[in-house]
Structure 1
Amino acid sequence: MIQRIQTLYLFLAAVISSALIFVFHLWTNSEGEKVYALDNYWTLGLFLASALLSLISIFRFKHRKSQFVLGRLNIILNFILLGVFVYQSLSLSGEINVSEKGIGVLLPIFSIVCLVLANKAIKKDEDLVKSVDRLR
């Protein structure tokens, strides 16, 4: 059913990956300009792919196993995105002025937390259905 708790977690992960990237900046460069996800096409593509996977997973509520697999793929995608941010923050060394990291760098972590909670709820539903099928 679509009114389950995992739908709320998946929707929250989709909002984090799609809408909040336009609100929060990723970092501030040495010139003092704020860098958003729109400035780098790789990060924008990874964020939007994560949001799309979350939305697809919401509407796969009748197929819990595929919903669980899509959640795992989304978690892996967010870890890749987090790795890209760590790589970029480490490769920015050597600047005269140290750049400041924004809260946008933490958005994949918040998305991962929501996705893990959604997968936990999906697993709980799947176990409940299996236990009821054993009783029949």
Structure 2
Amino acid sequence: MLQRIQSIYLFCCMLTAGVLPLFISLWTTTSKKEVFVADNVLYTALFGSTVLLALVSIFSYKKRQNQFVINRLNMILNFIIIGLLVYHSLNLSGEAKVSMKGIGMFLPIFSIVFLALANKAIKRDEDLVKSVDRIR
């Protein structure tokens, strides 16, 4: 059942959280040095755990409720990442170290969108199975 639409959404979430942060910078310092996810151990671990949760969710397709819960946990993790990125960008005094925010700060938002779409498809599958069970 890996051909379901939620698996495609989860794969897009994996790409958004696992591959794109390697090529898209989070911010640029005043010395014109681009900062990537791989430069910070905390962000690397958080983005890596997002990828891991999405991978676990893809392969737990037989248990739709567990898949739904794993996706919810992944959304919470992405909100934590957003909070840390916002805290880091606002905590610096007077833009002393960060001169320009990058598009990489919005990657967790894209991951949340893909996870929400996957949860919507999982819910639709669950409703379909329940309706078929009522007929029997």
What TM-score range do you get, normalising by the shorter chain? over 0.9
Partner of 2:103: 103
Distance 1:4 1:97 in 2: 45
2:125 match = 125
Long gaps (5+) in structure 2: none
Flag structure 1 segments of 5+ consecutive residues without an equivalent: none
Give the percent of matched residue pairs that are identical in Structure 1 and Structure 2: 57
Q: What letter matches 2:122 in structure 1?
A: I
Q: AA paired with 2:63?
A: H
Partner Cα distance (1:98, 1:31) in 2: 9
> Superposed, which structure 2 residues align to 1:45-84 within 5 Å?
45-84=45-84
Distance in structure 1 (CA, Å) of the matches to 2:4 and 2:91? 42
The one-letter code of the counterpart of 2:48 is: L
Note the alpha carbon deviations across 1:36-95, whole angstroms, 9 max, x for none. 001111111000000010011001011100000000000000000000000001012323
User: Which one is further off, 49-58 or 97-106?
Assistant: 97-106
How far apart, CA to CA, are the structure 2 residues paired with 1:73 and 1:98? Answer: 30
Aligned to 1:91: 91
Partner of residue 16, structure 2: 16
SS where residue 32 of structure 1 aligns?
Answer: coil
Structure 2 distance, partners of 1:78, 1:93, is 25
Distance 2:93 2:70 in 1: 36
The structure in which a higher percent of residues are helix is 2
What's the Cα RMSD here? 1.1
Question: TM-score, with normalisation over the residues of structure 1?
Answer: 0.96
Whichever residue aligns with residue 103 of structure 1, its letter is I
Return the alpha-carbon distance in structure 2 between the equivalents of residues 89 and 115 of structure 1: 25
The residue that corresponds to 2:26 in the other structure is: 26
Structure-2-length-normalised TM-score: 0.96
Runs ≥4 residues deviating over 3 A: 95-98
Aligned mates of 2:91, 2:5 — CA distance in 1: 40
CA distance in 1, matches of 2:5, 2:110: 17
- Once residues 48 and 124 of structure 2 are traced to their aligned partners in structure 1, the CA distance between those partners, rounded to angstroms, is 28
